[in-house]
Chain A
Amino acid sequence: MLNTFQQRTHAMLPTATHDESSRQEFAKSLKQFVQEALLPGLQPVFTQRAAVRFSEKHGHAPADRREIRSAMLGDPYFQTYASTNRISQELMWASVTDSIDRELPKLIERAKSFSASARAQLKIPGQFEVPRYISSLDIHCMPGGYATEVAPDDVSVAALYDRGAYLYCIGYCGPDNDDFGVSVCNYVKRNLPGFAPRRILDLGCTVGHSTLPYKERFPDAEVWGIDVGAPLVRYAHARAAAYGLEVNFAQMNAEATEFESGSFDLIVSHILLHETSAKAMPRIMRECHRLLAPGGYMIHADLPPFDKMDGFTQFILDNETWYNNEPFWGAMRDMDQIQLAVEAGFAREKVRFTTAPMAILEAAAKAAAGYTDEAATAVADRDFTAGEFAPGGGWEVLVAQKSPEARL
């Protein structure tokens, strides 16, 4: 099944020339190839060659992901796989930066004009400290990271993320890149009957691609997205307006927001926690508990913990830590997230891990370019494979409800 998924264009996306768009397609195709054709080879390379060499040297088989890594590091197949993967990431960003660099002044003006047309709020304080887990490295090798501004009212890194994240997911996140948000919304609608959130908060919202589905599916709710990157929320606000949706955005830190206690019924995050830190994660959980109204839900869609996976799967997943500027990727999976939620104030019986089925089939139903029924079904039906840019089947979600009897 050929993957020909295409991002649906919207007014805030940078436009690419023929050759720029061809380079973007190349990067996306290379990622597809790495995942489909190079990644599966790591298993036989490990069992037939690397593990044998390791055992001869150490007198025992590699026991955990750290020993597996040390066994694989010198293997030429692994080196080809890992370096190709890294280069695909670098070429992906480079293929998008050209368009943005060319169009930057226009993009900034367009964002201003869309934002001015919206009734929804955009809050960007003059003084703001970007946390070190965001500023010390450019996460997933994205040049500039989430918060760099190269001009007044800059949106460049946000435009880069909007297009780059689509290519990174090889289109598996849907034509609007909103599969995470849509999947969690579907989970809420199907599993929490009667729950009608009036205020919804999306933490670490980046460009608001996962935030918008909440406004679409809960149109009467007041929806907020917050992020530590000013260019992100600026772009997100304009992007929402370009989609014709009134969604509020603010530059705030999820560890300590400026919202009142008990002021949200539903707090969500999508692939946020693994980009924070061991110090920040407990604070974010506590802040969620503080912000939730009694009976409200917190749902984090992120990476499943390591404890239920074998060492080889852990090793594959941990490659992101070492090769993709994802310093917290591995450590976060070692944390007991249920315990963190309990320590934040949630009752243990109200906290659980579950799976929200991927909503990609809806993208096929909308007949977006490349999203045929066949291709979308192939994604929705497959099993989880470590190291793929989008896992098959569903997203792992941590769900916790604040006690309905809780006092604010």
Chain B
Amino acid sequence: MRQDSDARPRVVRHAKGKRPKFSDVGGVDELMSMVLVLASELCVLRDRVDAMERVGARNGIDFAAEIEQLPLDQAALEAREARRQDLFQRLYYLARKEAEELKSQETTDRYKAIIDEIAKP
């Protein structure tokens, strides 16, 4: 996928022809494509996990069954919960930012005022 700087010929990546707009709201079309690309990558990852389980099975390790029966000790429970909370933090970073701005009274007016202030000789 990465376009190297080497000289060898590369295939064409974009189709000639104006892409139509679907949503009247700016950014929604782009968002839609990003969501589907992410869904695709999620599927790819799930397929890879599936492949690992199948490769394991071919070599006598029943990952799928062992995964179902794996006991989670305290360390595992904590590691997983931490990872989930961390994911939510990242997923809701904009909402958290908004709350933080309200708390610290960061406003658009204040932002503009800073620009003016900094620009003053």
Residues of A within 8 A of B (CB): 18-19, 22-23, 25-27, 29-30, 74, 79-80, 82-84, 86-88, 90-91, 93-95, 97-98, 100-101, 104-105, 136-138, 141-145, 148, 150-151, 154, 156-157, 160, 322-323, 325
Q: How far is the CA of A105 from the CA of B11 in the complex (A)?
A: 11
Q: Across the interface, do A148 and B22 meet the contact criterion of CB distance under 8 Å?
A: no
- Check: B17 CB closer than 8 A to any chain A CB: yes
Q: Across the interface, do A104 and B11 meet the contact criterion of CB distance under 8 Å?
A: yes
Knowing A18-B48, A150-B9, the reply to whether A323 touches B36 (Cβ < 8 A) is no
Q: Across the interface, do A325 and B11 meet the contact criterion of CB distance under 8 Å?
A: no
Contact of A143 among B15, B24, B39, B48 (CB under 8 A): B15
Task: List 20 additional contacts besides A27-B40, A137-B16; criterion CB under 8 Å.
Answer: A22-B48, A23-B43, A25-B43, A26-B44, A79-B23, A80-B32, A90-B33, A104-B10, A136-B16, A137-B15, A138-B15, A138-B17, A143-B12, A144-B12, A144-B15, A157-B12, A160-B11, A323-B20, A325-B15, A325-B17
Knowing A26-B43, A100-B11, the reply to whether A91 touches B36 (Cβ < 8 A) is yes
Q: Across the interface, do B9 and A142 meet the contact criterion of CB distance under 8 Å?
A: no
Contact of B32 among A19, A87, A98 (CB under 8 A): A87
Contacts of A322 in B (CB 8 A): 20
Residues of B within 8 A of A (CB): 1, 8-17, 19-20, 22-24, 29, 32-33, 36-37, 39-40, 43-44, 47-48, 51
Contacts of B15 in A (CB 8 A): 90, 93, 137-138, 141-145, 325
Q: Across the interface, do A30 and B11 meet the contact criterion of CB distance under 8 Å?
A: no
Majority-rule SS of A interface residues: helix
Contacts of A142 in B (CB 8 A): 15
Q: List 27 A-B contacts (CB under 8 A).
A: A23-B44, A25-B47, A29-B43, A74-B24, A80-B32, A83-B22, A83-B33, A84-B32, A91-B37, A91-B40, A93-B15, A100-B11, A136-B16, A137-B17, A143-B12, A143-B15, A144-B11, A145-B15, A150-B9, A150-B11, A151-B9, A154-B9, A156-B11, A156-B12, A157-B12, A322-B20, A325-B17
Closest 7 interchain pairs by CB? Answer: A144-B12, A151-B9, A83-B22, A138-B15, A137-B17, A22-B47, A141-B15
Q: Separation in Å of the A277 CB from the closest CB of chain B?
A: 15
Instruction: Determine the residue in chain B with the shortest Cβ distance to A105.
Output: B8
Contacts of B37 in A (CB 8 A): 91
Instruction: Determine the residue in chain A with the shortest Cβ distance to B3.
Output: A101
Q: How far is the CA of A30 from the CA of B51 in the complex (A)?
A: 21
Contact of A101 among B10, B17, B47 (CB under 8 A): B10
Q: Across the interface, do B22 and A82 meet the contact criterion of CB distance under 8 Å?
A: yes
Q: Separation in Å of the A228 CB from the closest CB of chain B?
A: 16
Q: Across the interface, do A23 and B11 meet the contact criterion of CB distance under 8 Å?
A: no
Contact of A150 among B12, B17, B43 (CB under 8 A): B12
Contacts of B17 in A (CB 8 A): 137-138, 141, 325
Q: Separation in Å of the A232 CB from the closest CB of chain B?
A: 15
Q: Separation in Å of the B7 CB from the closest CB of chain A?
A: 11
Q: How far is the CA of A138 from the CA of B18 in the complex (A)?
A: 10
Contact of B36 among A18, A25, A30, A105 (CB under 8 A): A30
Contacts of B13 in A (CB 8 A): 94, 97, 143
Q: Across the interface, do A138 and B23 meet the contact criterion of CB distance under 8 Å?
A: no
Q: Across the interface, do A79 and B22 meet the contact criterion of CB distance under 8 Å?
A: yes
Contacts of A88 in B (CB 8 A): 36
Q: Across the interface, do B47 and A148 meet the contact criterion of CB distance under 8 Å?
A: no
Q: Separation in Å of the B40 CB from the closest CB of chain A?
A: 5
Q: Separation in Å of the A209 CB from the closest CB of chain B?
A: 20
Q: How far is the CA of A25 from the CA of B51 in the complex (A)?
A: 14
Contacts of A74 in B (CB 8 A): 24
Knowing A18-B48, A22-B44, the reply to whether A86 touches B20 (Cβ < 8 A) is yes
Contacts of B1 in A (CB 8 A): 98
Q: Across the interface, do A145 and B16 meet the contact criterion of CB distance under 8 Å?
A: yes
Knowing A19-B48, A79-B23, A83-B23, the reply to whether A143 touches B36 (Cβ < 8 A) is no
Q: How far is the CA of A11 from the CA of B93 in the complex (A)?
A: 49
